[in-house]
Structures are given as structure tokens and as C-alpha cells.
């Protein structure tokens, strides 16, 4: 048996004369989708697989498809003679363009056997001299394949070797997806051995020392694995000590390490290459001169064996010294290694004479988390699911580690400034905190935050940008957007689409034992950001803003300012400024009546339907009554039309309940139900009882403007409490109310027993209100049966994503995060709103 070892991702070129059995070999060892046959592509472009005049077009198409497969990370096999150097060069070029290894499998059979097979095929009409020329070309190819760039060349001579061949796949050295951690990823050490030992100790590692007291290994009692991002050497006081410890950890299986550019330069020097001794290399060489020659040789061997980057945890984590773009992850080429070591520069230098690095992380949209170092930064910062953890220890900063998957940063300070940086470590960021850039929000984006992550499709970002740029309030004031809310599971009770029983069951299934049922006001969602001082505060002049759930100003001035003044006075009179020790508050409210903001929608979408039905259906019933009196068989039609007339009357009554006269703020009411944040803290962890108690105090000091939110607290294990809440809902909706919102009593940031965020609220709407949503006749048995097949999964997923982003936005607000970071989160919520979800849900 001959074993052919192939990389799992490669471009495999079969090389052999016509009749050597390449197609049979490919069919035996590879899936049909993996094999690209030149004959098949000739047939595609010319309807004849033997039409040699179509070869140029056929191979052009074959190379294109091969590129698409390789870009997608799929093994690709090219079934062609591949006897000419130019043909093979084209395949090597395609492989290099996609950073995969080109491999050649040569099938060498006797020419006589190949000719015998060729003569047996009716579709082969060339002469023996062609086969002789092919055999000559094959012999010439043997010594050329490796020089042409094929990383592996397998030669199978004779039928027996070909028949006995077995394909075995090997992973690339960088593919360690089977390692799931947990990991402690350590930033650039640069010879700071004492700081490295201190960091490992703080992370819970146990250092192991030799007889001389030197740290030669470390292990973690919880079985964690350390991952070093490179640049272990140069500039610092003890590069050999760092190498001794890291090499020991790697050898013992306690750590992984990727090379940094400083290790590569050291290796070239140790191999006798001519390199410029600068940037701390002189210090390392001097320190190594004091070590035994055997140790220095071991260092060279260790560095030479380091892999450019690692793909870990099923592809969810990538570690590379200078970072790695998505298309390079898990690939192997000189280009990939160069990027992993040095990043990408623009060709320019900054005022310190250092190369300007291309901000690849700003454009990164991959699903894998990329952790890297290389460029020292005062503080680690998440950018599109990437983070640089080089915090300049050797320059007097800190040595930082990222705990994965916890996403926790742990750091120890440098003992001193060991090496003066060319560029000050505390240099100002590339842009002020308050500056926004279009690239922050355009295109397909991956947004990481403390509650999870999500990908914003480019089309959703474009829709959000349209709203944000044309209609939204000043981004400095747009600090949070409310999440959408999913309805409860569909009820099977006769005549109901939504019912409290399902809302309670939904939370009970999530492990919630206590909920609060809040009256659902039929108005317009209003977010109120109000400052204590009407002409100042941290958000600029104006003293705050009132905006809609899509970020638009609720009212134009002076009405908006008048509303804000009313809220400010109530907060002052309720004593909340001093009690909460804040000079601003963010409130989640409902503004009533619905018609105050949605009068145009009511007239254009609902009133027209009601007016037409009220005008036409009574007349139709009267005419059918007359026809029935004349003995015509229209009884069924008359009854159906009468039901439609009654449904339209109920439909009209439903939307009229939410219409009221307003004149300025006269007739307008505000129902607050959550105090989201203030200057000192986000109140996401306070229970809903706390939030509503503060809302009640606002209602008490200005009952003419504020309206309370009625509620019921329900222990889900208490059947009497559940029944009372259901009766309360029936009475509420029977009196014309919209329904209720059921929330975990624990508060906005409540989590399930599994630690995942819960739905922020589940709406349970009344039977008559749903006529507005689903149409006058939705309660007809046939229509209800159809509606009960509605799918809620996408809506619920959307609600959770928006809720998580909102919590992260509140945290960023109170933590004083840069405006662009806060805006990124709020923008992502708005982008989610363009998801194609049934708007009736």
C-alpha cells in the first residue's frame, strides 16, 4: 500500500499521459464535486470534450471555478494531463492566489498500456505519436515539479502502485481547531521575565523551577492552556529567561506560541544571515552570549518550528502576532506568514519614522475572534471581533493577557520602563472620542459587546444609515434604542391568538418563577433623555431630547422643549436628582394618545378601511335582507356579510379607542415605566418594581401629564395569582385596552438559569386590539387557523439581539465610552430593525 498524505485544503494536480487512469483514480479517491476535469470544461464551453480548440476557454473557466472553491476552503482536484510547464504554472498561481498548498500526484504507467486504453475509447482519435510526446513531457516533469512550486509531489509508478494507493489527509500545522481551551493569551513579553512570571501567577498558574531557581515550565490547576502572541525577545532585561519558560511550557504541552517579527529577526541572525542589529536585538544577543551554546541552538530550533498562526476552538479563535484577515485564516503561504508577522503597511511613515500600519481590524468582518499584539497600545480595545493585547510592558506599560472564552483582560504593571519607545506609549488616539467616521457603520460589520456579538449585513447597515443620516437626532443624544418585542406563543384557545396562559408558560419554560404584568399603553414609544440643567449638561445645549424608537425627534420645537421641561420639573419635584446622585436621566416611556404621533397613519391605513366598511356593508346587508324577503336563497351570504359588518364596527371601535384630541401638549400624556440610566450607573440590574416605583413618583407630582402603568406581580407557581392576572388581562382588554407586557420581575438584565439573557418582555395583546393588526375578520375560524401557523423564532431572535445591544449601549454610556463606540451599538439596533420580519408580530 502506498500512502499519499495530502493537506485537507490543497489544490491537487493530477499529472499523467492520456490513458494513465487519472479520471478513474480521481473517481476512486475524491468526491465528484471535488474534481474539475478539463474534458468536462471543454464540453461545457464547446459541447465536445475532445475539442482541443476550446482548451483555452475551458481552462479559463476551470481556473475560475477552482479559485471559487479554494476561496471557500474546499479541496480541489484538477483532472488534466498537466504535462506542460505553463499549464502547471497556472495551477500553482491559482493556489498561491488563495494561499493554499499546490500538490502534484503523478500517475506513471507504461506507454503501451496507455495506448491500449486509448485505442479502446471511441472518442480518442489521435495517433500514437501524441502519446509518445506526452510520455517524453512526463519524464521531463519529474525534476521540475518541486522547483515549480508544488509543495508535495507523489509519484505512483505502475498499475500496482496506483491500485494500492491510499489517500490520507493531514491538517495544516496552524489548524488546531480541536483545542477548545480555556486559554490564557499573553501579549508581547519582550524579555520582561519578572512581569511574565507575575502575570502567570495572577492568572492562577504554578511556576516550576529548575535547581538554579529558574522558571522552566508552568501549569494551571484547571488545565488551561497559555498562548503567546510572539515577540518574546528583545529590548527587555531577560529574553533568555522568557524563552526558557515559554519553551518549557510548549514542550510540556502547557502552551502554544506563534512567532513575532523579533523572533524571526533573531533566527536570521543566529543562522548567520546579515541583519541590522537594532530595535533591541543587540540586548538579546548579549544576553544569549552568557548562555551555553546548546541553549542558543535550542532557541533557534524552537523559533524555526513556530507556526505563523493558530486556528483554535473549532475556528472561533485565531491567534497571530500582528493579526490576520479572514481570508488568510487557516491558510499557508508566504503571504499569510508575512501578514501574521508584520501586518500590512501603507508604505508611509509617521512623524516618528515608524511605518503606518493599515487598519485591517477596522475592516474585519470575520466570525472568528482574532487576538494579536505587535503594535503597543495604551489600552486593549475590541474592534470588530479583534483585540490587540500588546500594552507595551517593555516600554513601562503593562503585560496583558486575555482569558478565553471569558473575554476577561488581566494585566500586571511593568516594573519599570526597560526600553524607551520611539513613539510615546500614551500617544493620543488616532481620532478624538467624539469623531464619527462613515466606515464605523457601513458595509457588513461584526459587532462585539459584553453580552454577545452579531453580524450586521451590509444591506441592513445601508437602511439604518438612510434613517440615521436624514431623520435621527444628534448622535450625541441618541444613546439607546428600545428593542423590539415578540408576542407570546400562539394560543390554541377558541377565538384567541394570544392569551396570558402562553406568556406565563414561555417564561416558566425559561426557568423564570416571578414575572410582572404591565399594562400595555396604546401610544408611541418615547425615549426621554433629560438633564438637570435646561441649557447644559454632558450632552450639550438643549438639556436633553425626546425621540422615537427609531431615533427620530418626537416633536419639533417648541413642543419638544416644552415636553422636556415638563419632565425635568417632575424629576426635580420628585427629588430624583439628588436621590440618584445624577445630573441626567434616561427614561423609557410611552406617549399617549397614539394619535398624537400617528394621526397620519390612522387616517391613511386604518380609518379608510373602517369608513369604507361602514359605508358599504350596512347597505349590502339591507339589500340582502330585501332579497331574502323575496324568497332568494341568500341567507348564508347575508349572514356572512352581517358578520363582516359587525367585524368592521369592532375594528373601528378598536382603533378609535386610541385616538384623542390634542392641542400642543394639552391632551398628551406620558407613561414612564423604566429609569434606564443616570450619570453614576446603568439601572439595568434593578428589578421592575424599583423602576415602576420611581415612575409612580413622577405621576404623583404631575398627575395631569404623567399617567401610571398598572401592573400585576405574579408568582408563576401560584395558580391563584396566575388566574387573577388572567382575569385582570381579560378585564383590561375587555374595556378597550391593548393588552399587557409580561417581563421577568428581576429586571431588564435578567438571565435564565443557563446564564443567557431572557426576552426583555413578551407582549400579550387583546382580542379586539388584534383586529387593528390582522384585519377586521381575523377572528373567523378559517383566518385564525392560518394565523396560528405564524412563526415567532425570527422575531424572538431579533428581540434578544436588540436587547443585548441596548444593554451594551447603556453600559458604554455610563462608562464614558467614546462616542463612536456608543454609536456603533445604537446603529446596530437600528440596522436590526430592517430585518425581514412579519410586521404584525
59-97 pLDDT per residue, tens: 999 999 999 999 999 999 999 989 899 999 999 999 999
Q: What is the pLDDT of residue 122?
A: 67
pLDDT at 646 over 50: yes
- Least confident range from 62-76, 238-252, 410-424: namely 410-424
Q: Which residue has the cell 436628582?
A: 577
Alpha-carbon span 320 to 344, nearest angstrom? 13
Determine the average pLDDT of the residues in 774-799: 88
pLDDT at 447: 81
Average confidence (pLDDT) over 656-674: 82
* Angstrom distances, CA of residue 744 to CA of 235, 486, 525: 55, 14, 20
Cα Rg of the chain, angstroms: 35
Greater model confidence, 424 or 92: 92
Q: Are 254 and 208 in contact (CB under 8 A)?
A: no
In the prediction, which pLDDT does 666 show? 85
- pLDDT band of residue 816 (cuts 50, 70, 90) is confident
**286 has a pLDDT exceeding 90:** yes
Q: Is the pLDDT of residue 603 over 80?
A: no
Say whether pLDDT at 821 is over 90.
no
**pLDDT for position 667:** 83
Q: In this structure, what are the phi and psi dihedrals at residue 425, rounded to the nearest 5 degrees?
A: -65, -30
Strands of 382-383's sheet in order across: 175-176, 309-312, 317-320, 369-372, 386-388, 382-383
pLDDT given for residue 428 in this prediction: 46
Nearest to 838 by CA among 804, 807, 796: 796
Find the helix or strand (DSSP H, E) in which 602 lies. none
Gap between the Cα atoms of 215 and 537, Å rounded: 54
User: What pLDDT is stored for residue 573 in this prediction?
Assistant: 95
Question: CA-CA distance, 718 to 716, in Å (whole number)?
Answer: 5
**Mean pLDDT within 457-463:** 89
What would the pLDDT profile of 510-540 be if each residue is shown by its tens digit?
999 999 999 998 888 999 999 998 886 788 7
pLDDT at 43: 92
**What is the rounded distance in angstroms from the CA atom of residue 319 to the CA atom of residue 310?**
5
Q: How far apart are CA 468 and CA 441, in angstroms?
A: 11
pTM higher than 0.85 for the full model? Answer: no
pLDDT in tens, 303-359: 999 999 999 999 999 999 999 999 999 998 889 999 999 988 766 666 556 666 778
pLDDT of residue 810: 93
HSE at residue 355, side-chain half, CA atoms within 13 A, is: 11
Q: Are 606 and 614 in contact (CB under 8 A)?
A: no
707: pLDDT strictly greater than 60: yes
Q: Using CA atoms, how far apart are residues 296 and 281, in angstroms rounded to an integer? A: 14
Give yes or no for residue 598 having a pLDDT over 80: no
- Look at 361 and 753; give whichever has higher pLDDT: 361
Amino acid at each position: 500500500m502506498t500512502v499519499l498524505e495530502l493537506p485537507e485544503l490543497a489544490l491537487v494536480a493530477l499529472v499523467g499521459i492520456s490513458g494513465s487512469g487519472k479520471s478513474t483514480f480521481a473517481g476512486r479517491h475524491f468526491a465528484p464535486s471535488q474534481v474539475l476535469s478539463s474534458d468536462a470544461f471543454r464540453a461545457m464551453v464547446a459541447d465536445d470534450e475532445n475539442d482541443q480548440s476550446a482548451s483555452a476557454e475551458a481552462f479559463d473557466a476551470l481556473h475560475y471555478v477552482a479559485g471559487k472553491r479554494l476561496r471557500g476552503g474546499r479541496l480541489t482536484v484538477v483532472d488534466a494531463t498537466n504535462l506542460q510547464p505553463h499549464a502547471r504554472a497556472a495551477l500553482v498561481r491559482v493556489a498561491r492566489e488563495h494561499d493554499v498548498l499546490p500538490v502534484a500526484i503523478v500517475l506513471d504507467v507504461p506507454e503501451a498500456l496507455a495506448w491500449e486504453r486509448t485505442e479502446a475509447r471511441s472518442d480518442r482519435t489521435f495517433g500514437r505519436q501524441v502519446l509518445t510526446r506526452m510520455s517524453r513531457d512526463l519524464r521531463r516533469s519529474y525534476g521540475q515539479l518541486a522547483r515549480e512550486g508544488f509543495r508535495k509531489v507523489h509519484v505512483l509508478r505502475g498499475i500496482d502502485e496506483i491500485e494500492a494507493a491510499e489517500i490520507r489527509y493531514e491538517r495544516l500545522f496552524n489548524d488546531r481547531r480541536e483545542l477548545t481551551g480555556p486559554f490564557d493569551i499573553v501579549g508581547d513579553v519582550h524579555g520582561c521575565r519578572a512581569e511574565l512570571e507575575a502575570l502567570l501567577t495572577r492568572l492562577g498558574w504554578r511556576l516550576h523551577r529548575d535547581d538554579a531557581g529558574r522558571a522552566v515550565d508552568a501549569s494551571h490547576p484547571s488545565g488551561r492552556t497559555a498562548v503567546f502572541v510572539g515577540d518574546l525577545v528583545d529590548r527587555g532585561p531577560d529574553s533568555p529567561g522568557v524563552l526558557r519558560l515559554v519553551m518549557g511550557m510548549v514542550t510540556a504541552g502547557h502552551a502554544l506560541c506563534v512567532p513575532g517579527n523579533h523572533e524571526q529577526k533573531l533566527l536570521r541572525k543566529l543562522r548567520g544571515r546579515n541583519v541590522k542589529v537594532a530595535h533591541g536585538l543587540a540586548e538579546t544577543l548579549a544576553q544569549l552570549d552568557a548562555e551555553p551554546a546548546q541553549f542558543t541552538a535550542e532557541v533557534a530550533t524552537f523559533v524555526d518550528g513556530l507556526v505563523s498562526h493558530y486556528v483554535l476552538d473549532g475556528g472561533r479563535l485565531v491567534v497571530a502576532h500582528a493579526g490576520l484577515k479572514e481570508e488568510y485564516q487557516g491558510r499557508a503561504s508566504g503571504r499569510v506568514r508575512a501578514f501574521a508577522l508584520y501586518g500590512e503597511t501603507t508604505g508611509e511613515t509617521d512623524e516618528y519614522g515608524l511605518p503606518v500600519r493599515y487598519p485591517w481590524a477596522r475592516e474585519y468582518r470575520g466570525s472568528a475572534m482574532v487576538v494579536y499584539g505587535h503594535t503597543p497600545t495604551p489600552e486593549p480595545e475590541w474592534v470588530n471581533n479583534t483585540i490587540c493585547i500588546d500594552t507595551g510592558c517593555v516600554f513601562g506599560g503593562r503585560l496583558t493577557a486575555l482569558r478565553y472564552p471569558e473575554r476577561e483582560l488581566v494585566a500586571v504593571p511593568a516594573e519599570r520602563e526597560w526600553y524607551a519607545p520611539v513613539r510615546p506609549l500614551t500617544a493620543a488616539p488616532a481620532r478624538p472620542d467624539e469623531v464619527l467616521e462613515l466606515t464605523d457603520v457601513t458595509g457588513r460589520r461584526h459587532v462585539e459587546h459584553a453580552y454577545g456579538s452579531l453580524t450586521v449585513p451590509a444591506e441592513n447597515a445601508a437602511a439604518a444609515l438612510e434613517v440615521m443620516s436624514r431623520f435621527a437626532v444628534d448622535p450625541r443624544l441618541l444613546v439607546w434604542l428600545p428593542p423590539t418585542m415578540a408576542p407570546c406563543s400562539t394560543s390554541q384557545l377558541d377565538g384567541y391568538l394570544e392569551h396570558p396562559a402562553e406568556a406565563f408558560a414561555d417564561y416558566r419554560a425559561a426557568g423564570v418563577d416571578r414575572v410582572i404584568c404591565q399594562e400595555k399603553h396604546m401610544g408611541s414609544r418615547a425615549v426621554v433623555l433629560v438633564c438637570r440643567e435646561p441649557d447644559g449638561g454632558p450632552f450639550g445645549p438643549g438639556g436633553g431630547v425626546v425621540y422615537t424608537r427609531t431615533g427620530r425627534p418626537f416633536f419639533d420645537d417648541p413642543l419638544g422643549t416644552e415636553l422636556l421641561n415638563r419632565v425635568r420639573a417632575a424629576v426635580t419635584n420628585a427629588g430624583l436628582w439628588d436621590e440618584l446622585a445624577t445630573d441626567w436621566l434616561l427614561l423609557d416611556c410611552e406617549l399617549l394618545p397614539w394619535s398624537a404621533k400617528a394621526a397620519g397613519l390612522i387616517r391613511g391605513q386604518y380609518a379608510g378601511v373602517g369608513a369604507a366598511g361602514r359605508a358599504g356593508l350596512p347597505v349590502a346587508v339591507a339589500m340582502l335582507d330585501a332579497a331574502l324577503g323575496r324568497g332568494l336563497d341568500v341567507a348564508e351570504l347575508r349572514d356572512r356579510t352581517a358578520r363582516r359588518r359587525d367585524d368592521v364596527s369592532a375594528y373601528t371601535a378598536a382603533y378609535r379607542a386610541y385616538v384623542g384630541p390634542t392641542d400642543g401638549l394639552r391632551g398628551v400624556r406620558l407613561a414612564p415605566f423604566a429609569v434606564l440610566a443616570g450619570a453614576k450607573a446603568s439601572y439595568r440590574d434593578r428589578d421592575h418594581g424599583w423602576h415602576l416605583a420611581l415612575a409612580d413618583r413622577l405621576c404623583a407630582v404631575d398627575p395631569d401629564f404623567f399617567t401610571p402603568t398598572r401592573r400585576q406581580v405574579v408568582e408563576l407557581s401560584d395558580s391563584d395569582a396566575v388566574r387573577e392576572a388572567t382575569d385582570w388581562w381579560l378585564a383590561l382588554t375587555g374595556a378597550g385596552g391593548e393588552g399587557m407586557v409580561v417581563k421577568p420581575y428581576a429586571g431588564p438584565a435578567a438571565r435564565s438559569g443557563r446564564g443567557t439573557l431572557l426576552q426583555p418582555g413578551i407582549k400579550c395583546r387583546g382580542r379586539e386590539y388584534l383586529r387593528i393588526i390582522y384585519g377586521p375578520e381575523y377572528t373567523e375560524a378559517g383566518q385564525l387557523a392560518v394565523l396560528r401557523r405564524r412563526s415567532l423564532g425570527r422575531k424572538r431572535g431579533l428581540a434578544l439581539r436588540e436587547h443585548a445591544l441596548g444593554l451594551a449601549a447603556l453600559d458604554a454610556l455610563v462608562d464614558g465610552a467614546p462616542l463612536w463606540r456608543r454609536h456603533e451599538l445604537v446603529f446596530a439596533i437600528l440596522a436590526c430593525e430592517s430585518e425581514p420580519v412579519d410586521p404584525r408580530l
